Amino acid sequence: VLHVNPAVAGVVDPPVTAAKRWIEHATMTPDTPLLDLSQAVPSYPPAPELRAFLAEVVRRPDTSGYAPVAGLRHTRDAVASHFARAYGAIGQVHADDVMITTGCNQAFCLAVGALCGPGDEVVLPTPYYFNHDMWLHACRVGAVHLALSAEHSMVPDPTAVEELITARTRAIVLVTPNNPCGVTYPPEVIEAVFDIARQHGIALILDETYKDFRSTTDPPHGLFARAGWRDTLVHLYSFSKMLSLAGYRAGSLVAAPHVLDAAAKLADCETIGAPRVSQEAVAFGLSAAVEPWVEDRRRAMCERVELLDREMAAAPGGFEVVTSGAFFAYVRHPFGTEGAAAVARRLAVEHNLLTIPGDAFGRGQDRYLRLAFGNVDGNGISAAAERLASCH
């Protein structure tokens, strides 16, 4: 039997795959079709203009070639100017600060690879995005968990973050709007954590995958407008959700050019450059032609959050929403002694309702489930609330 790296063998099984296994043998009836609230994927295709553009792109002879490791110049330009506008930081984000990655998950892996070695530590608010914790484990980087609390609406307390910093800490990770909680952190909190990271000479790795599904289009924070952002900020973004390009695998890593140089060494050994077709999709997707579509999707998702909050207001079946927003609701289940995994499994097998149990997001999360509703429409949300109500 071949030896497997114990650091990797010790990583948990991918939670979405594990949840999908529960329903492999489930019998679907027309009156209870599967409601898949397990994965944060948009239920709709990319904008029609973008799909038409891509049909042309694949015909071009150069589309099949390698792209430069850091990305196509015009895509890096487009991403830099998008962020400069979105964050009120015109002239403060340049193409040289941007690397186009094969999805935001790769951006995280490259950032950690560029910043940390085995034995280093990263502060990770918990519940965390499971792939972050999995990757840190696989790299033998210590994930130092900061427990978030429902009393503080799952928003980290910057003072508590600072207390976890040691001589080995290399970075603090924040995800806002948050996966799994849905909460958008107030700019003051993000900026206070940035200041702490700056004072300690460590990085703030900020994953804003869901920034375009907030209830506002105001800048999420003022960090890019600060002259010295490159000394501290390492920014991660995904085009999977904003442009509905999940399968194209397109994301970005924005950081000081010397950090990107280190990341590029790693990327050169794995994906080389992100696929050209995906990079063309991003450049077009950030153009004025697609802007109204993006805004419509944002509003539609905000309406889903409102609908979910209304449907869940009476705590159907005793399931209570703790926090919600963007693509997610973090829900407390009513079965005190039954673990979240058992409850989620029961919902899947008996009610054809697929959710992710809280323990996928860290210790102490056994009372919670994550519902990801990017994948279902309004009818699906109402149906999910009905199924929760009938779960005893």
Ligand X SMILES: Cc1ncc(COP(=O)(O)O)c(C=O)c1O
Question: Does 244 sit near ligand X (CB under 6 A)?
Answer: no
Minimum distance between the CB of residue 282 and ligand X, rounded to whole angstroms?
11
Question: Does 286 sit near ligand X (CB under 6 A)?
Answer: no
The residue number whose beta carbon is nearest to ligand X equals 103
Considering only 19, 80, 98, 104, the residue that binds ligand X (CB under 6 A) is: 104
The 3 state secondary structure assigned to 323-369 is EEECCEEEEECCCCCCCHHHHHHHHHHHHCEECEEHHHHCCCCCCEE
Considering only 175, 202, 282, 354, the residue that binds ligand X (CB under 6 A) is: 175
Residue with smaller CB distance to ligand X, 92 or 126: 126
Range in contact with ligand X (rule: CB under 6 A) among 97-105, 157-165, 258-266, 350-358: 97-105
Question: Does 275 sit near ligand X (CB under 6 A)?
Answer: no
Range in contact with ligand X (rule: CB under 6 A) among 49-57, 102-110, 166-174, 261-269: 102-110
Residue with smaller CB distance to ligand X, 79 or 391: 79
Where does the chain have alpha helices with state H? 6-9, 15-22, 48-57, 73-86, 104-115, 130-138, 158-163, 187-200, 239-242, 257-269, 276-285, 291-312, 340-351, 378-389
> How are the residues of the chain apportioned to helix, strand and coil, as percentages rounded to the nearest 5?
45, 15, 40
Of 102, 91, 95, residue with least CA distance to 79: 95
Q: Which residues pair with 60 in a beta bridge?
A: none
Residue with smaller CB distance to ligand X, 129 or 293: 129
Question: Does 246 sit near ligand X (CB under 6 A)?
Answer: yes
Cα–Cα distance for residue pair 16/20, rounded to 1 Å: 6
Question: Does 36 sit near ligand X (CB under 6 A)?
Answer: no
Considering only 207, 212, 280, 359, the residue that binds ligand X (CB under 6 A) is: 207
| Total of chain residues touching ligand X, rule CB under 6 A | 13
Cα–Cα distance for residue pair 362/145, rounded to 1 Å: 8
Considering only 40, 111, 259, 348, the residue that binds ligand X (CB under 6 A) is: 40
CA angle, residues 144, 256, 133, in degrees to nearest 5:
25
Sites of contact with ligand X (CB under 6 A)? 40, 103-105, 129, 175, 179, 207, 209, 238, 240, 246, 251
